[in-house]
Amino acid sequence: MLKKQKRILYLLMLLVLTTSLVACGAPPTAELEPTVEQPVSEVQPTAEVPPTSEVVEVAETEAPAVTEAEAGFPTGEITFIAPIDTPGFFPDMGQTFMNMHPGVTVNVIEAAWDNIHEKLTTDFAAGGYTYDAVMVPADYIPEFASAEWLLPFTEDQVAAITEDNIAMNIAQFEGDVWGAPFTAYPQLLSYNTQMLEAAGAEAPTTFSEWHEVCLKVVEAGNQYCMLLPLKQGRYAPMKFENFTYAMGGKIADEEGNMVLAEDPRTLAACEWIRAGMLDHKYIDPASIETDDFQDITSYGDGRWAFDNNSAWAFFQGASNPEMSNIIGYSHVLLWPTGDDGVGGGTRSFGAVLSIPTNAKNAELAWEFIKFMVSDEGQKKQLFDTGNLPVYAHLFTDPEVVEKIVDIELMGEQIKLGTSTLPYRWEPEYERILGPWLHKAWLGELTCQEALSGAQTEIEEMIASYE
């Protein structure tokens, strides 16, 4: 009996002690495992472009990881083709995108500029299932859009790439946008400040001033003032358009009618080149057989006071010691205008990132394109390849301004530029115009005769398309 009473008393005391401990907040005797905050998986990209996706903060309490597929980000595989500017650049960009998005595969195909049109048209004509994203030279947008080989961008896609974009015109055709402008290729005019100083001349602002400067350069003992890349193919028509737009002339009017032989400023552009080559002899006659690379090589040797070429070519003359003896003396010059101040533009084209109509993974292709045209992607392609970005704010970005000479002037020239003709027959136009221009510049025909002959033949070609 006594033993039973002691047992009851012991249980009562234990109950009171437990209740007191709980009320005072004492921890249980068993030690809980501390909650460990899981770090965000940070994938280091293999290229210099930093990830653009937002870093998601980890909640204080553990939660199951959310995959990109569950979050709505597309997965799978895409194939992307682009013309080579700098070997390895596009594979690096593809690898960076894959590092940012595990589970995604980007197959990159690099093609030569001279072959990209044939590769794309062959594939598209056969059904177009090979590529999910393509980098299209802007000249081909009208042709590919007319053939319904590309998907027009949606309103949301257009809105995502339009703000501050100074090159949207290169992706537009018949009221739609057919891709995201990736890089701008303004035809720049650069000059050798050392040669002008030695000749006692200043940088020209009009074509009349330019003429006088070149006369002074030759009088100072230089054989010629400039070499122009006027070789057959696209070179002669391209350079002719540069001079035409700078003088305020037109190739076609607002309705699309050819005015080659009718616009007096267009005629003046042809005659300025012809006179400089045949009469005043300050344009090297070897221009007729010169391409862009031959031109920039000789300009980098310090042989010419002026050069008309691409931004990439300018960078070689301005900063590449392997191709230039004039580093520190080569600078961008805004194109001169007519004597009345009209003009100052140039041919401005570029490359567009588009999605083929029959792309197998258009959704993932769009995400890849957004990554390519991000600020990080745009700056990387500028630093790695020398091709210009398409967003105005990047031309005044402190890092860009520090690294790239005259970059702000290049942005101004893009804004003054005129895009290529908005016709699907652009390659045929160039094929016809080039030989006629050569006949004028070699003295076989007057400029008026040559432009009249070219216009007639081009109009016949256009009629065959209608």
What are the structural domain ranges in the chain? 74-186+349-416, 188-346+425-465
**Do the strands 188-192 and 330-333 form a parallel or antiparallel pair, or are they unpaired?**
antiparallel
| Amino acid (1-letter code) at residue 295 | D
Strand order in the sheet with 330-333: 306-309, 188-192, 330-333
Q: What is the rounded distance in angstroms from the CA atom of residue 455 to the CA atom of residue 257?
A: 10
Domains 74-186+349-416 and 188-346+425-465 share a fold: yes
Give the model confidence (pLDDT) of 159-181 as tens digits.
Answer: 999 999 999 989 999 999 999 99
Contact 231, 435 (CB under 8 A): no
pLDDT of 303 reads 95
CATH superfamily for domain 188-346+425-465: Periplasmic binding protein-like II (3.40.190.10)
Least confident among 82-96, 400-414, 420-434:
420-434
| Whole-number Cα distances in Å, 161 to 9, 157, 370 | 81, 7, 8
Pick from 167, 155, 163: which is nearest to 311 by CA? 167
Q: Is 181 in contact with 170 (CB distance < 8 Å)?
A: yes
pLDDT for the residue 79: 98
Q: CATH code for 74-186+349-416?
A: 3.40.190.10
Over residues 230-264, the pLDDT tens digits come to: 999 889 999 999 999 999 999 988 777 899 999 99
Tell me if residue 131 falls in helix, strand or coil: coil
* Phi, psi for 53 (deg, rounded to 5): -75, 150
pLDDT interval class at 127 (50, 70, 90):
very high
pLDDT at 457: 97
Q: Quick one: pLDDT at residue 279? A: 98
Between the ranges 61-65, 84-88, 460-464, where is the mean pLDDT highest? 460-464
Of the spans 130-134, 292-296, 311-315, 348-352, which averages the highest pLDDT? 130-134
Q: Could you please report the per-residue DSSP string of 316-382? A: HHHH-TTT-S-TTTEEEEPPPB-TTS-B---BEEEEEEE-BTT-TTHHHHHHHHHHHTSHHHHHHHH
* pLDDT score at 71: 66
Mean pLDDT (whole number) for 413-427: 73
Angle at 356 between CA 91 and CA 141, to 5 degrees: 95
Pair 177, 310: CB distance under 8 Å = no
